[in-house]
Chain A
């Protein structure tokens, strides 16, 4: 188990390293690593060699923690004496030996890594930190409730904290609760969770979110995370105050207690953190509103810092269909993963390994793959050497396989999308489309699109795009998202909307795009944008086009009705004059004049319809 987890940690590090690469400042601060890996960016390796003393990493660390320390230790150039002293000290630059370097090389805990690179998890600024914290808490609560078959009731409270720039966030649910032994690790250990190792459609997938939020709170306020959880009516509620030991990525228990909590079951998380509470775009309200749209089965309550309460009421009483966990599809597995699976499998032969550990591989197909790879089908999977694994990997990709099963997905459904939109947005026209499931890189996914047009929506300005991945609203990095690309590349003018080149369509329009998948390909750990897989873009565009066609029918009909109304009014203006002229010329009575108006109105009315 430990080995498995470590592999994940390394994988995360790799990904993070890639993200950091663009920022030289951050990579300069990188602490030396124990093992040098071939995949590591060259830049990082270089920075490791040039690290002369412990000062640069230390400085960076303190800078991250306290701003006050900066002027003293941070900028060396400000006071003339200090650098001179240092210069003298450093005067004979003795080249470091391999042994010197070895002394400095040590393991980095994932917690330390994310402490420094918290922007990767969505904690770049106080405002976003508040939103991310609430988002992670709510996502966890919803996943837990749905898995337990409970209609979620969630209460989010943002209360003023112990200082001006601090807030105390409480997320409380009616979920199944958490068993006592797991609480510390779930909330105070990064990359610990139930969702990473399985292929199942859920909101969370990595096991970082809530513990990262706790870590952020701890980092900015020094306060522990407070957890209260109750698993059944008859059992007491467990009360924990937890800190995360960042050096080891292990929980540190401050308080372990049982308390009286007058609810049947549920979990409450309290985190105090440095944050900024603001309304408007990308706010907590917007996130909760969008969550309510995509999850009409939930009941949400927000208590804002000023004590004001906002309720997002439940619009549907049925839970989403519980999703099935699936085995990975061979097309979606990379070589490294394949080697690991070969090593870890319980199967005794290569053929049965392929059949039992993957989806859509029958015994016959498994045999075919073995033949293609020129491997003995009865070979022990753990004995497969690297070169043979490479052949096996190639053979898999050369064999025609059925697409992965798609009944593992639980789309919101057209009806509930409409219900969600109608609940939160007062518009004149709603439509929704759920596309049939399809596959990217061996992962099944499904796209849904909803449109709301007119009504109280603002007529000038661009359309609003609501993006969702597994029912979770995505608020940041709109322009980096595959769904945005699909909206932009759809020709909205064909559907009677205005759209300037390369822009979103304009008009009173809300476009909702939902991607449901067992593994949503996010561009980063903060889960803000969907990566540009051609299959995803194509499916989204097809769904948008289908909605667009329905919208255009509505718009055409509405325009026609308006036009006909306008014409009628226009005709009504002039008919009386014809009657007046005829009365004058033919010396008719008022009555006859009225008759002419009536008859003429009839004639024109008839000709128009």
Chain B
């Protein structure tokens, strides 16, 4: 029996023991909120503080409690059989559970996240895999994978996808890399990624381009992390200049999220830096802007006040304040106002020439 399966059995045993002693069984989970994480500058990611929440079996919690235990049982089955199940599939499996079934997928996702936190592992280890797409790669990189049926080595050259790209798989732990690139550029939008691929930007800049497609998935973060660590490459993030780009995308990429704080150690890229678009870029490049939405302002103020990462970096606090003072936001594609390829010919080279100006 694997270590994880043993842990599951132990937890179940503890629950049973309490029932046999005629006391209410409990399960305790680390509290997964931003208020229960600290930024650890040396380790470079958001780390859980000790706070735990104990779920005691009462009338109010009996349904979730039953669902959690049944999901644990499912996870144990997956671990023992080396099987996988998407979160959507897990939701459908629960339809067998009569009254304990989930009505909507977000409910089952939460229970899976709970179990993941309970055992301090990532859900992939439990056999649960996400539906989400991992991200796309183009540039000077060879990924070494294995054929799933024969186990034969497969060498994937990411320069050979033409106008297309290599998709990051859901599980990246077994991959090996070969590259001579100088840096990794992580891009928010698929549109900007397409422009850079179309014009072969990776060729003359000698880099690897990654499209994150919004907030990077765990697989994407883990892929960039391993690539950066093993190949000793710097990672530059190129996202929109708005609170969402800065904190939901960039911060999650660099230090992880509050919700998944128990596994941030694996799923973050502490070496990443923020290339742009910075608030100062809006001024320097005279970018067309939109006014900040209410939700943006709220998010920005919240970040200054509560985000342990932002609290640690003065330059970020200044940047947000500057953005709030200007009251505007700008998108990556805004450079098209000058020329369609302005970003390739002017912006990126100019920024890369002065990496000291990047935000941490």
Contact = CB atoms under 8 A, between A and B. Distances in A.
B16 A596 contact: yes
A573 B99 contact: yes
Nearest to B63: A574
B95 to A, nearest CB: 13
B72 A604 contact: no
A107 interface: no
A588 to B, nearest CB: 8
B24 A607 contact: yes
Interface stretch (A146-154, A547-555, A579-587): A579-587
A577 B59 contact: no
B99 A574 contact: yes
Given A573-B99, A574-B100, A585-B8, A600 B19 contact: yes
Nearest to A585: B12
Interface string B57-97: 11100110111011011001100000000000000000001
Nearest to A606: B22
The 7 A-B residue pairs whose C-beta atoms are closest, nearest first, are A581-B69, A577-B66, A585-B12, A577-B100, A574-B66, A584-B73, A573-B99
Query: Looking at B20, B65, B70, which has the most chain A CB atoms within 10 Å of its CB?
Result: B70
Interface of A: 567, 570-571, 573-575, 577-578, 580-582, 584-586, 596, 599-600, 602-604, 606-608
Contacts of A575: 62, 66
A564 B247 CA distance: 47
B72 A585 contact: yes
B9 interface: yes
B150 interface: no
B24 A586 contact: no
B285 to A, nearest CB: 58
Interface of B: 8-9, 12-13, 15-16, 19-20, 22-25, 57-59, 62-63, 65-67, 69-70, 72-73, 76-77, 97-100
Given A577-B70, A578-B69, A586-B9, A596 B62 contact: no
A577 B59 CA distance: 14
Interface SS of chain B? helix
A567 B67 CA distance: 18
Contacts of A585: 8-9, 12, 69, 72-73, 76
Contact of B97 (A567, A570, A577, A603): A577
Nearest to A598: B19
Nearest to A599: B19
Given A567-B59, A604-B62, A581 B20 contact: no
Contact of A599 (B22, B67, B73, B77): B22
A292 to B, nearest CB: 47
Contact of A603 (B19, B65, B67): B19
A317 B182 CA distance: 109
A574 to B, nearest CB: 4
Contact of B24 (A571, A574, A581, A603): A603
Given A604-B57, A604-B59, A577 B9 contact: no
A285 to B, nearest CB: 49
B56 to A, nearest CB: 10
Contacts of B70: 577, 580-581
Contacts of B13: 586
A602 B66 contact: no
A603 B18 CA distance: 10
B261 to A, nearest CB: 26
19 contacts: A567-B59, A571-B62, A574-B99, A574-B100, A575-B62, A575-B66, A577-B70, A578-B15, A578-B62, A578-B65, A581-B12, A581-B66, A581-B72, A582-B15, A584-B76, A586-B13, A599-B22, A607-B58, A608-B59
A580 B96 CA distance: 12
A605 to B, nearest CB: 10
A585 B69 CA distance: 9
A602 B21 CA distance: 11
Contact of B59 (A570, A586, A596): A570
A602 B19 CA distance: 10
Nearest to B18: A603
